[in-house]
Structure 1
Amino acid sequence: MSYEEKGTWLYLVIAIAGVTVYSAFVFPAVAGGTPVDDIDYVPIMLWTIGGAIVASIVARILIEIVFPSESTKGDVRDREIDRLGERVGGSFVVIGALAALVLAMLEMHWFWIANAVYLCFVLSAVLSSITKLVAYRKGVPTW
């Protein structure tokens, strides 16, 4: 498995773990009927995002210690796969920005705006990673 593919797997797992941890803390309150004004989601979101960044760095180092890659330089195929995955992921960043814009125009509570943006960031990471992993297995499509 290439250096880039290992990183993609880590990115996928950590993105899913991060949103799972965040959801476990925040959404029981929402489901329980707590008003969104009373939900202290900001520290949880910031800790989750920061934790994901630290976990990515530490996990990448540990993976390379335990399962060293022959090279950390990507080749042409890695760059094409990365470009394809980032195009797919980038579309969800745009969707998140549009969702935030619409929610702000509707004067929704900032809880919903922040969570819509966060959800789209996570969807971007997950779908970008899945696209890259499929491309590593099946090849880059020639459209």
Structure 2
Amino acid sequence: MGGIMVYEERNAWAGLIVSPISMVVYIVLILQQAGGGPLTSVDWFPLMLWVIGGSIVAVIILSILWGMVAGAKDPDGVGRSDIRDRDISRMGSRVEQAFVVIAGLGVIVLCAVGADVFWIANTMYAGFAVSALVGGVARVIAYRRGLV
């Protein structure tokens, strides 16, 4: 991660740092609440909302702090973006959409078989989380190696 990064690349890295941490935090909280009992008995909704909200805030704070450091090093280039940034963003969004579609299909199947709402909601949450993670990886690779 050496060198000066553009705003969009810093955001991709911030998401890659925060996403896995938030996924682990959510899983740990769910398992703690279950206390060895059935996961479907956990009051998952508030936990999910807090983790999602906390993740968003953490990415914003990390991006701001990282931007301040970058701005101190290169005041003129800190907020610049160009067509390459837009192309990388579009490519990352397409990768993310593929994983959201896969999660959506999983949710449809779970609904069809009458799965508990816990599994339905958490499948979608996992889809969003994996989507963000894979999209961030795709963006960072594109910044480091270029678009193919």
User: Same fold by TM (over 0.5)?
Assistant: yes
Whole-angstrom distance in 2 between the partners of 1:37 and 1:87: 33
Aligned match of 1:67: 70
Instruction: Output the CA distance in 2 between the equivalents of 1:116 and 1:56.
Output: 23
- Letter of the aligned partner of 2:20 in structure 1? I
1:42 aligns with 45
Query: 2:116, 2:103 → 1: CA distance?
Result: 16
Counterpart CA distance in 2 for 1:31 and 1:107 is 25
2:113 equivalent to 1:106: yes
Q: Percent identity between the aligned chains?
A: 39
Partners of 2:53 and 2:66 lie apart in 1 by 20
User: Match for 2:69: what amino acid?
Assistant: V
Q: Which runs of 5+ in 1 are unaligned?
A: none
Distance 1:73 1:47 in 2: 32
- List aligned pairs for 1:1-143, cutoff 5 A: 1-27=5-31, 32=36, 34-68=37-71, 70-141=77-148
Distance apart, 1:66 and its partner CA: 2.2
Aligned counterparts of 2:108 and 2:138: Cα–Cα separation in 1: 27
Distance in 1 between the 2:35 and 2:110 partners? 20
Structure 1 distance, partners of 2:130, 2:102, is 10
Query: Partners of 2:40 and 2:126 in 1: how far apart?
Result: 19
Q: Which runs of 4+ in 1 moved over 4 A?
A: 28-31
- Gapped regions of structure 2 (runs ≥ 5): none
When the two chains are superposed, the root-mean-square deviation of aligned CA atoms in Å is: 1.6
For the structure 1 residues 134 and 109, does the alpha-carbon distance in structure 2 shift closer, same or farther, using more than 3 Å as the test? Answer: same
